[in-house]
A and B are shown apart, each in its own frame.
Chain A
Amino acid sequence: MTTPQIIVMIGGILLILFIAWFFWLSPKEQTRISTNNNGTQEVAITVKGGYTPDIIVVKAGQPLRMRFTRQESSSCSETVTFPDFNKSAKLPEGQEVIVEFTPDKPGEYGFQCLMGMLRGKLIVE
């Protein structure tokens, strides 16, 4: 094996490790939602290539209000669904859409666009 080949081999292995770490193992940023005066947990979520914030920590038993604003025209993200809560909403571009429900049971629930390209997670504590 020539030197460039060995370098490519080692580089490749390192790159694979990096990919695995970056997408699966690294800790992800969580956004904790506080409760406002009315007892509602409210969060504004921007939809553009992904959900920002995408990992949302909320308290169980308190109403949750998510204000989605889609800032792209790609049709992938036009619907957001919360399969575990049987909730979904159409998100017209540039328009704020409110999704409300009260998460009762603690746990981790995913939310996503219809085909699962954009994903977020709701952590109920």
Chain B
Amino acid sequence: MVKDPVCGMEIDPNVAFESREHMEHKYFFCSESCLQKFDNNPHQYVLMTEDPIGSATTGFNPNTRVLQIELPILELAKEGQPGGELIKKALKKLNGIDRVIVNSTSGIVVVDFDNQVIQIQEIVGVIKKTGYLVGGSKTRIGIENIRCTSCVGFIETELKATPGVLDASVNIATQEATIDYLPEQTTLHRLNSAIEDWGYKTRPALSEESVDQQQAAHEKEYKRLMNRFWFAAIISIPVLITAYPKFIPLVRDWSMTTLRVSWFFAALLTLPVLLWSGGDFFNGAWAALKHRAANMNTLIALGTGAAWLYSTVAIGFPGIFPEGTSEPFYDVVAVVIALVVLGQALELRAKGRTSEAIKKLMGLQAKTARVIRNGVEIDIPVEEVLVGDTVQVRPGEKIPVDGVILEGSSAVDESMLTGESLPSSKKVGDDVIGATLNKTGAFKFRTTKVGKDTALAQIVKMVQDAQNSKAPIARLADTISGYFVPIVMILAVVTFVIWFDFGPKPQLIYGLVTAVSVLIIACPCALGLATPMSLMVGIGKGAENGILIRSGEALQTAQGIKTVVLDKTGTITKGKPELTDLLVVDKQQVTRDEMLRLAASVESISEHPLAEAIVEGARNKGLSIGKPEAFEAVPGHGVIATVEGQRVVLGNLKMMKRENVDLVDLEVKSEALANDGKTPMFIALNGKAAGIIAVADTVKEDSKEAIAVLHKMGIEVVMITGDNRRTAEAIARQVGVDRVLAEVLPEDKALNVHLLQAEGKKVAMVGDGINDAPALAQADVGLAIGTGTDVAIEASDITLIKGSLKGVVTAIEVSRATMRNIKQNLVGAFIYNILGVPIAMGVLFPFFGVLLSPLLAGAAMAFSSVTVVGNANRLRAFHPKFRSR
């Protein structure tokens, strides 16, 4: 006796209504209704009769029909969200739900449900209706050779019944399954085996990266074009022989009749060339014609089509043409199509290389991550990493996604994203960026951004958007190419009429050859390609050097910058005070290190930025910091505390007066420090003046060098700051800035930029993107200095990922180089057409008796657009003055 898996009835296999095989087991059914239920969702019943898969994670207990599932709900953990109650209420209304527990803090809903009554998919659907989304991963698995639509249904049900799967669908066209699932509860391996149970082989899904996809498409298209080229090229050989019999030894002796027969063969041979190799031109021309538009396809289709038709009529009915004009031009048809198709294929190859920068960026992404879940380290594909996961990173490994360090410390090489050549040291609480390289230490971090939200993904998205944007310079070319093709068609008609009416004999031949040449030589493609190709390479080149240019317009404006306005704090300087000077009154009384140690001990419990600078300074010198007692902060004055029995007073002049400390010559010395833009603080030990500690916001190492190069490029550099004039000018002297706008209120920065623009100059503003947003927006080009991950700085036209002013130089260099390249392309394309079309019309004929063969016209046209793309590719050799290694 066996058990019906659906109703549980004991039946004799021999008298069973029907049987099914599923996952290598045979099941027997008592009735049609049980069978139908099973067929609808076999896995559900298999689970009832077998040991469940993954019972440990789902809490599935085979003795009851109640299953438990933990669903992470996105944004449930946010404060003030009513979601928990909403979801609970909605779920409770459903049949088959036993219990709902909402844990708002961890953002998890635990549901006990009867899987005979309700499916996970329904539960997820109901939650969706409350306005919340169930978190999880989406993956795609390729399925080989799936053809039957009924199998699609089986695999979908199978996947949906796999514990942890929220939704699944199979697309027969792409041969791929798309699965939403909870990575905590199932693995890719388990999903794969669910598909393989149905006898299908799985394969990795085609990469979702558009670049890979595009590359695959390009490869296919290249092969397609090359097939068509070779076909046309091979046919061209016999056709050329029959077209120029005089030059070919044996053929020279053919009689006119033999020749005529050979022409008929040529007509037949070139027909597939025209319709297959050149099919794209005719299809494209027809599609454009339906929209009352014309493009390159129209020209080639008209040119080759006219040549073939004339030739066929000429050899078919030689009588209707004047003597000597009934000669065919099949060679034009075959050779021109072969050349233009070859040109397209080569262009495609060259185009592929223009997106190299994006490919490089995407290649930075780590493939796997070592995630710690339930105390166990597991290696999973990076796509399955969730926000909030703990990831372990060892020395020499790539950091998979963005996050915050929980444990351990290390030096991380971020040069691939920021261009910063020195590894930056990271400790607990510091941000790490995905795709950067961990150098020395091991650490664990909590993920904060995954998938499309990571800094790398955003950089890629931004660069791609910018690459496909338009530079204003392209407008002219666009406008012209809108009229271009009809004008060429008109010129072809004019050419034919002039040659026919005024040309030498045989007029029909001359008219036709020249008109066809005009149609073929004109190349709207070169014009259309001129800007986008260079932009693609130029913006990619910028990205390689840590400069994210938002659009073609930003790139074009950047080349004409005459004035660069630099915000002081955080742009020229580090934006964080550092210890700069230590002066002691009497070395016998106290050494400089000892004074610093005492001061740092007092300040160790203060959180003031100046205090931090002192403590940091002491730490850098390796001084051991003591514990302050009887700490007292006097607002506007300073601090007092006892350290190791000594009474330490640290503060400004007012503090010293209040404590009646005799400053001797310290007051004069402090004046001098203040003149240099530093902040001096007096120190008194046990009521006696001990010395001065000065801190200042120091200049970034490379600011001076970058400003010098800007000057060399003929750019005026202006510093803008809210600081007092004295501090501002001290900094300006250090870095060599020629103009200082000091004591500018933050809200007036934009106004000051506007005033500079009123001097008739193109102004670039460089700032931090948050406080300077209005000024960045006001400037012709706003450059935001980011720190690693802030790529999405809205107000900026250009983001410098590396926080260095050298980026400003490189940005302008990239812009100038790209614009130069675009201009070369445009001028080249214009000159080509402006010279080529009249030559094809035959303007040289009256003077030199030369006429352009349509074959040469075809070659010129094919290679003009390849040249444009090739020239754009030259930009790949661009190297910034400041090389980032």
Contacts and interface: CB of A to CB of B under 8 A. Distances in A.
Given A16-B490, A20-B486, A83-B469, A49 B497 contact: no
Nearest to B224: A73
A15 B493 contact: yes
A110 B497 CA distance: 36
A115 B532 contact: yes
Contacts of B283: 48-49, 72
Nearest to B496: A12
B494 A16 contact: yes
Interface in A61-104: 72-75, 78-79, 81, 83, 86-88, 90, 92-94
B213 interface: yes
Given A12-B494, A19-B493, A73-B220, A119 B468 contact: no
A19 B291 contact: no
A19 B489 contact: yes
A7 to B, nearest CB: 10
B289 to A, nearest CB: 9
A67 B493 CA distance: 40
Contacts of B528: 114-117
Contacts of A105: none
A80 B173 CA distance: 24
B296 A75 contact: no
Contact of B470 (A81, A92, A117): A81
Contacts of A50: 287-288, 290-291, 293
Given A15-B493, A78-B214, A88-B465, A5 B500 contact: yes
A33 interface: no
Interface stretch (B13-21, B269-277, B474-482): B474-482
Given A16-B493, A49-B288, A73-B224, A8 B481 contact: no
A90 B524 CA distance: 22
B486 A19 contact: yes
Interface string B516-560: 000000001100110010000000000000000001000000000
Contacts of B351: 75
B494 A5 contact: no
A52 B292 CA distance: 12
Contacts of B470: 81, 83
A2 B710 CA distance: 71
Interface string B54-85: 00000000000000000000000000000000
Interface string A1-40: 1000100110011011001101110101000000000000
Contacts of B221: 73-75
A112 interface: yes
A57 interface: no
Contact of B217 (A20, A28, A48, A92): A92
A51 B287 CA distance: 9
Contacts of B383: none
Contacts of A51: 291
Contact of A75 (B210, B218, B483, B486): B218
Given A81-B468, A92-B214, A117-B296, A19 B490 contact: yes
Contact of A116 (B286, B477, B500): B477
A23 B293 contact: yes
B478 A116 contact: yes
A115 to B, nearest CB: 3
Contact of A49 (B220, B287, B464, B469): B287
A24 to B, nearest CB: 7
Interface string B284-312: 11111011111111000000000000000
A119 B287 CA distance: 12
B524 A117 contact: yes
Contacts of A115: 525, 528-529, 532
A12 B497 CA distance: 6
B348 interface: yes
Given A86-B551, A117-B528, A79 B468 contact: yes
A81 B291 contact: no
Given A24-B486, A48-B287, A73-B220, A81 B469 contact: yes
B501 interface: yes
B280 interface: yes
A60 interface: no
Given A19-B493, A48-B287, A75-B351, A119 B224 contact: no
A54 B833 CA distance: 28
Interface in B116-142: none
B169 to A, nearest CB: 15
Nearest to B283: A49
B291 A86 contact: no
A114 B280 CA distance: 18
Contacts of A124: none
A114 B532 contact: yes
* Most chain B beta carbons < 10 A, residue from A5, A8, A22, A87: A8
B727 to A, nearest CB: 40
Contacts of B284: 49, 74
Nearest to B499: A8
B257 to A, nearest CB: 29
A9 B501 contact: yes
Contact of A78 (B217, B288, B344): B217
Given A12-B496, A16-B494, A52-B291, A116 B481 contact: yes
Nearest to A81: B468
A7 B476 CA distance: 38
A50 B501 CA distance: 37
B490 A20 contact: yes
A78 B525 CA distance: 15
Nearest to A87: B465
A95 to B, nearest CB: 8
B165 to A, nearest CB: 24
B497 A8 contact: yes
* Most chain A beta carbons < 10 A, residue from B293, B482, B490: B293
* Most chain B beta carbons < 10 A, residue from A16, A28, A81: A16
Nearest to A94: B173
Nearest to B531: A115
A24 B297 CA distance: 18
Contacts of A93: 217
Contacts of A81: 468-470
A94 B294 CA distance: 24
A12 B295 CA distance: 21
Nearest to A28: B292
Contact of A119 (B482, B493, B525): B482
Given A49-B288, A74-B284, 15 more contacts: A8-B496, A8-B500, A48-B287, A52-B291, A75-B344, A75-B351, A78-B217, A87-B465, A88-B465, A88-B468, A93-B217, A110-B478, A112-B478, A117-B296, A118-B288
Interface of A: 1, 5, 8-9, 12-13, 15-16, 19-20, 22-24, 26, 28, 48-52, 54, 72-75, 78-79, 81, 83, 86-88, 90, 92-94, 110, 112, 114-119
Those 3 A-B pairs whose CB atoms lie nearest each other, nearest first: A49-B287, A115-B528, A88-B468
Interface of B: 173, 210, 213-214, 217-218, 220-221, 224, 280, 283-288, 290-297, 344, 348, 351, 464-465, 468-470, 477-478, 481-483, 485-486, 489-490, 493-494, 496-497, 500-501, 524-525, 528-529, 532, 551
21 contacts: A8-B501, A12-B493, A15-B493, A16-B493, A19-B493, A22-B292, A23-B292, A28-B292, A50-B287, A51-B291, A54-B291, A72-B283, A75-B221, A81-B469, A86-B465, A88-B469, A90-B210, A115-B528, A116-B482, A119-B293, A119-B482
